[in-house]
Amino acid sequence: MKEIEYKYLVDAEQWKLLDKPAPELIVQGFISKSVESTVRVRIKGDKAYLTIKGKTVGITRQEFEYEIPVNEAEELLSAFTPKQIRKHRYEIQYAGHTWEVDEFHGPLEGLILAELEVGSEDEKFELPNWVTEDVSTNPDYYNAVLIDKC
């Protein structure tokens, strides 16, 4: 399955003004990470997932995600991921699309990233006023890189 995703920095002041739904807490770690592929364990709310992602080419990459029991995800995080990312995720509806906006915690406090999955690289969409710089192709903003700062 292919994931085609744009990623943007968020203007903190504009974000504060936005009426937002309740977020979900995400805790995630990486069992394996390289330029070629990553294997991630994530607990999101009351569900957990094991995700395998391939190398990013442009804004597209292969992605396979499987729901797993939360207790197994907790064990995997504890046993195999010395560093973890903690963030709150908001799902924001805007101009016919669902934006996923992450507010990071801990060492990444203050970072707010918005992601938008689209059906094709040439799909058109409207940008909300709270997004700023497009960092879709900047590896510094990949979670597998950000985790090194945790």
In 3D space, the residue among 6, 46, 50 whose CA is nearest the CA of residue 28 turns out to be: 50
Q: What angle do CA 91, 36, 48 make, to 5 degrees?
A: 40
In 3D space, the residue among 146, 92, 140 whose CA is nearest the CA of residue 115 turns out to be: 92
Q: Where in the chain are the domains?
A: 2-149
Class for domain 2-149, per CATH? mainly beta
Question: Which pLDDT tens digit goes with each residue over 88-102?
Answer: 999 999 999 999 999
Q: How confident is the model at residue 71 (pLDDT cuts 50, 70, 90)?
A: very high
Q: How confident is the model at residue 31 (pLDDT cuts 50, 70, 90)?
A: very high
pTM: 0.95
Query: Mean pLDDT, the chain, as a whole number?
Result: 96
Question: Which pLDDT tens digit goes with each residue over 11-29?
Answer: 999 999 999 999 999 999 9
The predicted structure's pLDDT at residue 126:
97
Q: How confident is the model at residue 75 (pLDDT cuts 50, 70, 90)?
A: very high
Contacts of 7 (CB under 8 A, 6+ apart): 113, 114, 115, 134, 135, 136, 141
